Structure 1
Amino acid sequence: MWLDNASDIDILFYEPYARIIADIAKNEKYNPLTIGVFGLWGAGKSTLLKLINEKLESQEETICVTINAWMFESYDDAKMAIIEALLLELKEKFPDDAKKKFGKLIKRVDWFKLGTKAVSTLAPVVASVAMGNPLPMLLNVTGNAEEIGNTVKSAANSIQSLKDEYWKEGDVSNDESTINNIRKFRGEFSDALKNDDIKNVVVMIDDLDRCRPERIIEILEVIKLFLSVDRTTFIIAADENVIKYSIREKYPPMNGFDVELDKEYIEKIIQLPIYIPELSAKDIQNYLLLLVTQSYLEQESFKQLIDKIFEEKRTISGDVITLEEINKLIDELGLNWQDGGKPVFNETAKIIDEIREIVASTLKGNPRQAKRFLNTFITKRQLAKIYYGDEIDISILAKLLVLQKLDNDLFIQLNEWNKEFDTENVKFKEMRMAVAQGTTVEQEPWATPQIKKWLDCKPIELEKYPLERYFYLTRENLKNSNIDQSGFSSNTKDILVRIGNAQSGGQMTAIINAAKELSSVEIGDVFKVVIPKIEKGDLKFFVIRDLFINFERFKGKISEALLKSNSKIKVGDIPVLRAMYQNDSERLEETLQKMIEKGTLSQKMLDDIKAQQKKG
């Protein structure tokens, strides 16, 4: 199994990125500096941070600290919690003569925390008693009079003792205002970092994009307001789209102003953005085969293999790494196998090798998705062994898992066809032959470039095999309508956001033009989200109209989704349906008739649509 953790071995070959970022981070001429390492979920940002950390730890005058932002998600005051965690780390790593300064800063953080929580709740209680009006406090404190008195006294003493301990007598800057405290903290933090033995402090923030929008903003602002001082470099790993969304949630666009607040905000916080490119289909093919290899070689042997591949620049050649090349390198280097050895490796690797091209096209450059697919395959293969022994053809199982990943609706349809299997799956065979000869309207969903590649994967004549056992092993997907968007490209996500925010048909022209620039895979992902929304009645009709008219390949699915919807057509929707009917009356005719039978469309409305069609 492949865990979703930062890898100890650079299978993604991010070493050049790590080298460049580490060189920038350790250069004191550039600080204070905040670097953004931007990539989609699952792109390998944590692995890259780990590589950067390894390079920086070897620098004697550089201290490197890694903070997982997600760990502070549940804290009432995440800002202060992160500052305190950083100060504690630095107190441990700095020379002894600097520890006292960090200790004093931690006490200031205690005051900040008390000021934002305890002072706001306890001080009014103390004040109410002092003013001779204890009623508000009495309504919230249980116990007898003596216990209540002790509570109030304890609260007041806690506030005063912390103030006495932090602000020494004679401190002329004894000003408790928030602005002044931030100024004092920054000054003392900067002073604490001035040490002859330490030139740079590099703080890496990971998993920021897993936090809620308000937490993301809090953490970015605490870096900018409190911590970005001389000798510091912050490296923030996140999905830029998630940060932009968080900014829009916190600071919505202003009416009448065409200002990209999210972009300007990020530019203010992040001085150096570095984008991790999505892996190409070739890269994902290599990654899949290397992941399989990793599970069968001893760790040190696998590291030697990766080093050799990098040394020979095979990752930047135009061709994928073949299974034969992998085996040749393993033999030449004399690498050691784990239990099971080479025969089991070749059995598994041969199957993955046959399907990795089509699998790579569905994973859209996402390493995490590659791991998840292989984990699913290995788990299902083990289940197949337990249930059916050697009676399962692993290549068929792998092919069906790929179809489920490509299009769960077609996966479900194949299961329905398989229920009529006698000597062969007649409907599947008819579909396969029709696609090979030039598709009909009925076979259109099976005629996309991806599905055509899937049809050509071995075994090609899938109609010859009864598939009940295979569908039993994957039965959780037969009713699963959830869509995993974590592997969607940034372009796909942008189009979906724009569709969701569209307020008029006029905005759709630009959205449609941008959508037409997407790859076939990306367009398919857009419609994976759009079609269920049409079925639920959650998509505006002018959006449905423009998608129907402009994307021929998905007209059938849009028509089916309209029929499945229980939302009744309104008079205001008639012009939209009229435009769709004028564009393709043949396709919509049956759908509209069935909508009348279902009760979501009236005969009068249909007559109006057709009457307008005749006039046109």
Structure 2
Amino acid sequence: MWLDNASDIDILFYEPYARIIADIAKNEQYNPLTVGVFGLWGAGKSTLLKLIGEKLKSQDGIICVTINAWMFESYDDAKTAIMEALLQELKEEVPVEETKKKLGKLIKRVDWFKLGTKAISTLAPVVASVATGNPLPMLLNVTGSAEEIGNTVKNAANSIQSLKDEYWKEEDASNDESTINNIRKFREEFSDALKSDDIKNVVVMIDDLDRCRPERIIEILEVIKLFLSVDRTTFIIAADENVIKYSIREKYPPMNGFDVELDKEYIEKIIQLPIYIPELSAKDIQNYLLLLVTQSYLEQESFKHLIDKIFEEKRTISGDVITLEEINKSIGELGLNWQDGGQTAFNETAKIIDEIREIVASTLKGNPRQAKRFLNTFITKRQLAKIYYGDEIDISILAKLLVLQKLDNDLFIQLNEWNKEFDTENKEFKEIRTKVMEGNVDAQNPWNTSQIKKWLECKPVELEKYRLEKYFYLTRENLKRSSIDESGFSKNTKEILERIGRAKSGQMVAIIKDMEKLRAEEIADTFKVVVSKIEKGEMKFFVVRDLFLNFDAYKGKIVDAIGKSTVPIKAGDMAALRTMYNSDTGNMNTVLETMVKRGTLTDEQITEIKEQRKS
């Protein structure tokens, strides 16, 4: 199995990026600096941070710590939590005792910030009661014996007073308890703590920021900018830039009348050096899939030697994919060691993955995490197949069906329905396969995308000759409509969906025109989302109408989704339904009757729709 963790071995070949970023972090002239390592979810950002850390940990005067931002998701005040965590980490790492003391003092200052944001609001009535000599308000809020109440009052008052005495002494001419002055004092003391001949730079790597909620993301970015970014510090933040932009727009919505990209300007203010991890190409994913399989059967040290050889020979930047024959040749030349029974299992698995990796790679659209998930699913299903059916299952058929499920779950479900009518062959599948291969299918037909065409060509090609009940039983959890994974959608698809989501009636002509320019698979991805929203009653009916009128291949899915919706039709939707009915009475008749039965359309409304056609 392949775990979704930062890898110890650079299978993604991010070594050049790690080297560049590490060199920047070591350069004293560049700090303070905040580097953004931007890439989509699952692109391997954590692996890259680990490689950077490995290069920095052996450098004299460089202190490198990693903070997982997601750890602070549940904290009421993420700002103080991350400050305290960082200071504690540094206190353990720094070699100088004087610096440790200064950092310890800063941790106490963070305690004051905590009181100022949360605890002080809880203890304020207690302290006020002590100050005024009136215990009544305090007694109403504190339970326990008289002795416990007394201790509570004493401890609360002493805690606040001791912190104030330590940081806001009378002789301090700048005795200002404002937020601005608190930040200034913290920055000064933090900067002073790092002024040591033994510290050249402190490198703080922030991982998993894009897993946090928008408000947490903003809090963490602001604490870095306001409190922590001082001389001798470099922050390396790994995240999906789109998630950060979304968080900024949530926190700071666009201002009416101002054409300002706040999200872009905010990121530029926080992050001085953005470094973008490019999406892996289909060729890269093909290589990655085969190397993941190889890793699973070779001993770890042997696999490292194989990766080093591939990198040294610059095979990853050549124009061709790494072949299975090349892998086997390199293993033989290097004399690498297999795990127990590894060579036989590798030969079987690698042969199957090699046959389907081209189409799988185009489906995964540059995402390493999805590649691991696919292989994990395949391995699990293969093991289940052996338990349930022994040698009755053809693993190549199982792999091919798993690819179809990944490509388009709706077509996977449709193939299962067709398989139920199997006599001597699956006639409906044979018919659609033949038409697609001969070019006799509507261009918008979901079976006619370039990805599905490649899938049809995968072995075994004549899938209609096989009964598939056992295979569908092994994958039965996918025979129901599932949540849609939009992470692999193209930029064009995402833009169209965004435009549809905020569309006004007059904008649909332009949207439809641009949709028609999309590739067939991009149109299919768009309709996955649209159909789901129609079922939930979340799609405006003028949008439904215009899509229905312009995309014949998806009319069936649209009317099915309308029929499944439980949201009643409003008066404002009637005009769109009438237009759809007048355009295609055959498709609409059945769904209108279904809507009446489900209670989303009244008899009066259906009569109005049909009579309008007569008139």
Per the TM superposition, whether the score is higher than 0.5 is: yes
SS in 2 for 1:29: helix
Offset of residue 508 of structure 1: 4.4
Alpha carbons of structure 1 residues 237 and 144: separation in structure 2 relative to 1, 3 Å: same
Name the counterpart of 2:528: 528
Alignment of 1:289-304 (within 5 A): 289-304=290-305
Name the counterpart of 1:462: 463
Preserved contact between residue 443 and residue 520 of structure 2 (Cα < 8 Å):
no
Deviation per CA, 1:354-390: give whole Å up to 9, x if none. Answer: 1111111111110000000000000010111111111
Q: Give aligned-pair identity as a percent.
A: 81
Preserved contact between residue 38 and residue 274 of structure 2 (Cα < 8 Å):
yes
Query: Structure 2: which amino acid aligns with 1:162?
Result: L
Name the counterpart of 1:73: 73
Alpha carbons of structure 1 residues 547 and 308: separation in structure 2 relative to 1, 3 Å: farther
Name the counterpart of 2:104: 103
Offset of residue 422 of structure 1: 2.3
Deviation per CA, 1:385-413: give whole Å up to 9, x if none. Answer: 11111111100110111111111111111
Bigger drift between 469-478 and 375-384 goes to 469-478
CA–CA distance in structure 2, aligned partners of residues 6 and 559 of structure 1: 45
Alignment of 1:188-587 (within 5 A): 188-440=189-441, 444-489=445-490, 491-500=492-501, 502-508=502-508, 519-548=519-548, 551=551, 553-577=553-577, 585=583
Preserved contact between residue 592 and residue 606 of structure 2 (Cα < 8 Å):
yes
Bigger drift between 170-179 and 92-101 goes to 170-179
Name the counterpart of 1:603: 607
Preserved contact between residue 7 and residue 47 of structure 2 (Cα < 8 Å):
yes
Query: Structure 1: which amino acid aligns with 2:242?
Result: N
Offset of residue 567 of structure 1: 3.8
Offset of residue 296 of structure 1: 0.7
CA–CA distance in structure 2, aligned partners of residues 233 and 488 of structure 1: 34
Offset of residue 112 of structure 1: 1.0
Preserved contact between residue 241 and residue 490 of structure 1 (Cα < 8 Å):
no
Deviation per CA, 1:188-214: give whole Å up to 9, x if none. Answer: 111111122222211110000011111
CA RMSD of aligned residues (A): 2.3
Bigger drift between 84-93 and 328-337 goes to 84-93
Preserved contact between residue 446 and residue 524 of structure 2 (Cα < 8 Å):
no
SS in 2 for 1:104: helix
SS in 1 for 2:484: coil
Alpha carbons of structure 1 residues 290 and 117: separation in structure 2 relative to 1, 3 Å: same
Query: Structure 2: which amino acid aligns with 1:444?
Result: N
Offset of residue 149 of structure 1: 2.9
Alpha carbons of structure 1 residues 13 and 513: separation in structure 2 relative to 1, 3 Å: farther
Deviation per CA, 1:314-340: give whole Å up to 9, x if none. Answer: 111111111111111111111111122
Alpha carbons of structure 1 residues 214 and 174: separation in structure 2 relative to 1, 3 Å: same
Name the counterpart of 2:589: 593
Alpha carbons of structure 1 residues 454 and 302: separation in structure 2 relative to 1, 3 Å: same
Preserved contact between residue 22 and residue 55 of structure 2 (Cα < 8 Å):
yes
Deviation per CA, 1:157-193: give whole Å up to 9, x if none. Answer: 2212233344567443333222111000001111111
Name the counterpart of 2:23: 23
CA–CA distance in structure 2, aligned partners of residues 514 and 265 of structure 1: 31
SS in 2 for 1:602: helix
Count of residue pairs brought into register by the alignment: 606
SS in 2 for 1:295: helix
TM-score normalised by length of structure 2 = 0.93
Preserved contact between residue 123 and residue 156 of structure 1 (Cα < 8 Å):
no
CA–CA distance in structure 2, aligned partners of residues 489 and 67 of structure 1: 31
Name the counterpart of 1:614: none
Offset of residue 503 of structure 1: 4.7
SS in 2 for 1:235: strand
Deviation per CA, 1:488-517: give whole Å up to 9, x if none. Answer: 3455444434433x1513444665566566
Alpha carbons of structure 1 residues 333 and 442: separation in structure 2 relative to 1, 3 Å: closer
Alpha carbons of structure 1 residues 32 and 475: separation in structure 2 relative to 1, 3 Å: same
For structure 2, the 5+ residue unaligned runs are none
CA–CA distance in structure 1, aligned partners of residues 31 and 164 of structure 2: 33
Preserved contact between residue 42 and residue 369 of structure 2 (Cα < 8 Å):
yes
CA–CA distance in structure 2, aligned partners of residues 13 and 221 of structure 1: 32
Alpha carbons of structure 1 residues 607 and 320: separation in structure 2 relative to 1, 3 Å: farther
Preserved contact between residue 581 and residue 589 of structure 2 (Cα < 8 Å):
no
CA–CA distance in structure 2, aligned partners of residues 491 and 30 of structure 1: 37
Query: Structure 1: which amino acid aligns with 2:359?
Result: I
Query: Structure 2: which amino acid aligns with 1:154?
Result: N
Query: Structure 2: which amino acid aligns with 1:76?
Result: D
Name the counterpart of 1:88: 88
Offset of residue 578 of structure 1: 5.9
CA–CA distance in structure 2, aligned partners of residues 191 and 197 of structure 1: 13
Offset of residue 60 of structure 1: 1.2
Bigger drift between 596-605 and 459-468 goes to 596-605
Preserved contact between residue 434 and residue 443 of structure 1 (Cα < 8 Å):
no
Query: Structure 2: which amino acid aligns with 1:252?
Result: P
